[in-house]
Chain A
Amino acid sequence: MMNAAAMQSLTITYPAEEHPALQPLDLEINKGENILLLGPSGSGKSTLALALQGLIPRAVEAEMTGELTVHDAAPKHWKITEACRHVGILFQDPETQFCMETVEDEIIFGMENIGLPVGDIKDRLEHVLKITGLKEQRFSRLTTLSGGLKQKTATACLLALDPGMFILDEPTANLDPKSKEDFIQLWINTAARQNKTLLFIEHNMETGLEHIDRVIALRKEGGVLLDGPPHTVFREQAHILEQEGIHVPEVCRTARRMEQEGNITWSPFPLSLHEWETQCMQHGFQKREEPFSGLFPHAPAEPPLIEAENMTFSYGSKRILDNVSFILHAGEFTALCGSNGAGKSTLARLLTGLEDPEGGTLFRNGKDTRHLKTRDILKQTGMVFQNPEHQFICDTVEDELTFGWRAAGLASSSFHKELEKLLDLFQLQEKRHSNPFSLSQGQKRRLSVAVMLTGNQKLLILDEPTFGQDESGTKALMGMLKKWQQKEGGTILMITHDMSLVDQYADKVLLLDNQCTAFEGSTDALFKQTDLLEKASVKVPVSRELRTWVTSLERQETPC
């Protein structure tokens, strides 16, 4: 086998940084391998991607030591037009990787750059539009496309340049579950089949694992933590990954536990739900529907915190919400789901009182919100935005947290205890004097939640709070939220695409589809409505599917 890339003590340090972004790394990648690259935030995965293309140091300034060869050359010596024919990178943020207006123009852009003749451009354009399924969107403007279609367009752009190595840098982080699966399927069907080297960087990969040849996990302190085929890594070494805070795919984690408990011996070890199910059936196990918990657990006597009745709302002539009704009781953790553009964020705005519903009524503690002042609603409602930076208004973490109290004219002695409590709960003690903009992604996120809890908030609305967080960051944040809900009796409404998060933490789900409430009820009940889930492009999380088998496996219920 030939080498696609080789690294010898490759170290990369950004200017003005004390520690290298990529600690000394020795690694060899073979041609045609499909690799899954794992690692906690800050282990230098994205930096490595940029270096493999030569973008470091060509476009992004950084000091590079050690050896790096890709396709038997040093990427930094490639010309820009050469580099893109060797290595193509798909980036995480679909908004910032385009420069043209339409799908066609964007795909053409790359091919024009490398000076392909017009005839070839035409052929390749037709070809990539066909394999990515974008024929209908050929002349669509990029701004009108959903996140999933944008990433497909970005894929088409890469395929058109036909490089020998593809690097996908967390391309599905912003996508809803259905688009995510479609996208991974597209790569499996196209790129992975040709003799191309494929480097998948993903925090949380649940599908497509059976097509991965090799898993490489990086250590936060540098170097390779684990390296091997997925069967070996996820079966025998999963505990090492978990110690490092790296997500182990649900199927593998559960399969491993079942095996360790002596319930089943896998051969081969399952990497997908499909493989799991086939083997379970071969062993004679049956899927068991969990007993349905029935009615919603509690029906408090007091008026609900929020009650919406046939709410409608439009921006200009565009209807965003149409007859939306639901109830939020105090102390509940509700997940707000629905595909992109279903009206989730708009609904959140209405609940903050910044906007009034056009038609229908919104009651708060039994009172019509139209009679309440926005100011008073905001005192009881906090909202955490997708981008935490948007919320920061002060120069230090401490000022940020005490801003509300100071604005209300309170003396520092009166809120001192409360401040310490928040700093402890959200693990920000060490950073109390730092500038909010200088914090890490996880710290920024925790601060943005903490500032929303400094008042007397009863309801906290979160807009995709786990976006851009790694496994340990997500766990820490959700733990804190759950604590607030249980200890302080807080009510939470969380907008999210992540169904395993919903399954794990939410008591209740509110599903929007086509501007209407498509479902309102317990999480258990939602995942039973297969037709509805299909329609609203929601997927039952793997963890839940697995649970139906686990009971049967644990009890060893095989028909004799």
Chain B
Amino acid sequence: MLEHYQQKDRFLQRVNPSLKLGAVLVIIIMMVPVFDPWTPLLLFGVTVALITGLGGVHLRFLGLLLLPFLLFAFSFVWIQVVFPDERGGTILFTIGSLPVSLENVSTGVSLGMRALVFGSWSLLFVLTTEPSRFMLSLIQQCKLPPRFGYGMMAAFRFLPLFRDELRQIRTAHRIRGLGEKRGLRQLKRYFIPLMAGAIRKAERTAVAMESKGFDGSRNRTFYHRIHWNRHDAYFTGLFLLLLTTIWFVSTPWSA
């Protein structure tokens, strides 16, 4: 499913991965001093619109992915209401004997929305960026040494392998009569065969890569070039517009 969106031929997919990554970082930094609930709410709305409109991701699929972030966000509101540093004066209503104040709810929503904004921007990046293009862009635009770039790619390939292996180990142990209960001891038992396998796999892959002439240096051809294109210009324009809007919207509130 993830690959399906990453490979779509839509606007966000065509933007340079390094630029997108930069944008995510700028947004995160921008949101640090914002404490009102409306700016992140607005930004969140815009982001969802961007991902669905310019990234071609189905709203339902996006919603599903955002669900854990939503729960996380709600926990902020809850914590602010139940354990406030300082209870606000404007009481909205009470739950049992617990007074709920507007100020506390507002801080909670603002913190929660911020988590949602971070989540949605991370998803904007992940859902519209192919890992191999991202790696190439890091090497070509950000001057990341190929040693790390291709190493990351190889490690990335291992993730599903590990998942399969862990599943097999778990089954094997259950058949031996272990694994009804989960605990630290259980984890230790998984750890040894998993590590033994991981080290062997990593060694083999490293040898295989070197046998194909990979020496980690920049001295190589790039068959796929990640170029800057007009989509990057549009994206930058759009992004600056978004930043300006945030600036104006949030100033009267944050002061």
Chain A residue contacts of B243, Cβ below 8 A: none
Q: In the complex the two chains form, what is the Cα distance from A115 to B224 in whole Å? A: 13
Contact with A55, one of B168, B197, B207 (Cβ below 8 angstroms): B207
Q: How large is the interface on B (under 10, 10 to 19, 20 to 34, 35 or more residues)?
A: 35 or more
Q: How far is the CB of A164 from chain B (nearest CB, A)?
A: 14
Q: Is the interface of B mostly helix, strand, loop or mixed?
A: helix
Contact with B154, one of A99, A114, A349, A407 (Cβ below 8 angstroms): A99
Q: Is the CB of B196 within 8 A of A437?
A: yes
Q: In the complex the two chains form, what is the Cα distance from A407 to B197 in whole Å? A: 27
Decide yes or no whether A85 CB sits under 8 A from chain B: yes
Contact with B176, one of A114, A121, A142, A403 (Cβ below 8 angstroms): A403
Q: In the complex the two chains form, what is the Cα distance from A417 to B28 in whole Å? A: 68
Decide yes or no whether B174 CB sits under 8 A from chain A: yes
Contact with B210, one of A80, A383, A389 (Cβ below 8 angstroms): A80
Decide yes or no whether A58 CB sits under 8 A from chain B: yes
Contact with B221, one of A84, A97, A111, A451 (Cβ below 8 angstroms): A111
Decide yes or no whether B38 CB sits under 8 A from chain A: no
Q: In the complex the two chains form, what is the Cα distance from A530 to B189 in whole Å? A: 47
Within 8 A of B (CB), among A354-384: 354, 375, 378, 381-383
B222 (CB) vs chain A CBs: closest residue: A112
Contact with A383, one of B160, B175, B211, B213 (Cβ below 8 angstroms): B175
Of the candidate stretches A102-110, A288-296, A505-513, A548-556, the one touching chain B is A102-110
A102 (CB) vs chain B CBs: closest residue: B132
Decide yes or no whether B60 CB sits under 8 A from chain A: no
Q: Is the CB of B205 within 8 A of A404?
A: no
Q: Is the CB of B204 within 8 A of A93?
A: yes
Decide yes or no whether B178 CB sits under 8 A from chain A: yes
Q: Is the CB of A391 within 8 A of B172?
A: yes
Q: How far is the CB of A454 from chain B (nearest CB, A)?
A: 10
Q: Is the CB of B174 within 8 A of A354?
A: yes
Decide yes or no whether B212 CB sits under 8 A from chain A: yes
Contact with B189, one of A98, A387, A393, A404 (Cβ below 8 angstroms): A393
Decide yes or no whether B219 CB sits under 8 A from chain A: yes
Q: How far is the CB of B162 from chain A (nearest CB, A)?
A: 11
Decide yes or no whether B177 CB sits under 8 A from chain A: yes
Decide yes or no whether B3 CB sits under 8 A from chain A: yes
Decide yes or no whether A50 CB sits under 8 A from chain B: yes
Chain A residue contacts of B177, Cβ below 8 A: 375, 378, 403-404, 407
Chain A residue contacts of B196, Cβ below 8 A: 389, 437
Decide yes or no whether A182 CB sits under 8 A from chain B: no
A355 (CB) vs chain B CBs: closest residue: B171
B156 (CB) vs chain A CBs: closest residue: A101
| A-contact bits for B191-215, CB 8 A (1 contact / 0 none) | 0110011000100111111111111
Q: In the complex the two chains form, what is the Cα distance from A414 to B130 in whole Å? A: 60
Contacts A80-B215, A81-B213 hold; do A113 and B192 have CB atoms under 8 A apart?
no
What 4 A-B pairs come out closest when comparing CB atoms?
A: A84-B213, A113-B213, A97-B208, A99-B154
30 chain-A/chain-B pairs, Cβ below 8 angstroms? A59-B207, A59-B210, A88-B211, A88-B212, A91-B208, A95-B161, A98-B157, A100-B157, A101-B131, A110-B212, A110-B214, A112-B221, A113-B214, A115-B221, A118-B221, A143-B157, A157-B212, A161-B213, A349-B171, A352-B175, A378-B175, A383-B172, A387-B168, A390-B168, A391-B176, A393-B189, A404-B176, A404-B177, A407-B177, A437-B192
